[in-house]
Amino acid sequence: MKALGGGTVSRGAVDAYPRKILPRKISLRVSRTNRILGTSIGAGEIPGYLRRLHLEVRESGPDSFEVMTPTYRVDLTREIDLIEEIARLHGFHRIPVTLPSGRVAPESKTAMQKGTERAKSLLAAFGFWEVITYSFLSTQVLRDLNLPPEDRRATPLRIQNPLSEDQAVMRTTLIPGLLSSARSNLHRQNLDLKLFELGRVFFPRQAEELPEEAASLGGILCGRREEESWAQGKAECDFFDLKGVLEGLFEGLGVSGLRFLPAPEVPFLHPGKSAAVWGGEEEIGVLGEVHPGVTERFDLKGKVFLFELNFEKVVSRMTERRKFTPLPRYPAVTRDLAVVVDESVAAGDLLRTLWQADEGWIKEIRLFDLYRGNPVPAGKKSLAFRLTYQKEDRTLTDREVNEFHQKLVEFLTRQYQGTLR
- Is 137:166 a contact under the CB 8 Å cutoff? yes
Q: Where in the chain is the domain with CATH 3.30.56.10?
A: 21-94
pLDDT of amino acid 346: 85
pLDDT tens per residue across span 404-413: 999 988 888 8
The residue type of 290 is: V
Burial of 186: CB neighbours in 10 Å, binned 0-12, 13-18, 19+: buried
Is the pLDDT assigned to residue 319 strictly greater than 90?
no
Return the C-alpha torsion angle 395, 398, 400, 404, nearest 10: 120
CB atoms within 10 A of CB 275: 24
pLDDT band, very low/low/confident/very high, at 13 (cuts 50, 70, 90): confident
Q: What is the arithmetic mean of pLDDT over 75-87? A: 94
The CB-side HSE value for 25 (13 A sphere, CA atoms) comes to 6
pLDDT of amino acid 227: 79
- Is 187:200 a contact under the CB 8 Å cutoff? no
- 21-94: CATH number: 3.30.56.10
Identify the CA nearest to 258 among candidates 351, 320, 125, 195: 351
pLDDT of amino acid 317: 93
Instruction: Give long-range contacts, CB 8 A cutoff, 24+ apart: 404-409.
Output: 404/359, 404/361, 405/335, 405/337, 407/357, 408/337, 408/354, 408/357, 409/337, 409/339
Q: Where in the chain is the domain with CATH 3.30.70.380?
A: 333-420
* CA–CA separation, 248 and 215 (whole Å): 20
pTM recorded for the entire structure: 0.72
pLDDT of amino acid 18: 72
Give me the DSSP letters along 222-233.
Answer: ESBSS--BTTB-
pLDDT of amino acid 85: 94
pLDDT of amino acid 257: 85
- Is 330:388 a contact under the CB 8 Å cutoff? no
pLDDT tens per residue across span 364-388: 999 999 999 888 888 899 999 999 9
Give me the DSSP letters along 369-393.
Answer: EEE-STTSPTTEEEEEEEEEE--SS
- Is 142:172 a contact under the CB 8 Å cutoff? yes
3.90.220.20, 3.30.365.10, 3.30.930.10, 3.40.50.150: CATH of 111-227+234-315: 3.30.930.10
pLDDT band, very low/low/confident/very high, at 328 (cuts 50, 70, 90): confident
Is the pLDDT assigned to residue 358 strictly greater than 90?
no
pLDDT band, very low/low/confident/very high, at 310 (cuts 50, 70, 90): very high
Instruction: Give long-range contacts, CB 8 A cutoff, 24+ apart: 150-156.
Output: 151/267, 152/203, 155/204, 156/202, 156/203, 156/204
pLDDT of amino acid 100: 74
Identify the CA nearest to 198 among candidates 314, 109, 298, 320: 314
pLDDT tens per residue across span 237-279: 999 999 999 999 999 999 988 889 888 789 999 988 899 999 9
Q: Where in the chain is the domain with CATH 3.30.930.10?
A: 111-227+234-315
pLDDT of amino acid 97: 87
What is the radius of gyration, based on Cα positions, of the chain?
Answer: 35
pLDDT tens per residue across span 51-72: 999 999 999 988 999 999 998 9
> Strands 193-203, 169-170: parallel, antiparallel or unpaired by DSSP?
unpaired
- Which fold is adopted by the domain 333-420? Alpha-Beta Plaits (3.30.70)
In the chain, the largest separation of any two C-alpha atoms, in whole Å, equals: 119
Question: DSSP H helical segments within 129-260, as ranges?
Answer: 139-143, 175-187, 239-253
pLDDT of amino acid 383: 92
The residue type of 286 is: V
Asked if omega into 375 is within 30° of 0 (cis), the reply is yes
Return the C-alpha torsion angle 191, 194, 198, 203, nearest 10: 50
* CA–CA separation, 82 and 78 (whole Å): 7
Is the pLDDT assigned to residue 101 strictly greater than 90?
no
Q: What is the arithmetic mean of pLDDT over 336-362? A: 88
Q: What is residue 291's DSSP assignment?
A: P
pLDDT of amino acid 359: 84
pLDDT tens per residue across span 278-298: 998 899 999 999 999 999 999
pLDDT of amino acid 313: 95
pLDDT band, very low/low/confident/very high, at 213 (cuts 50, 70, 90): very high
**Mean pLDDT of all residues in the chain?**
90
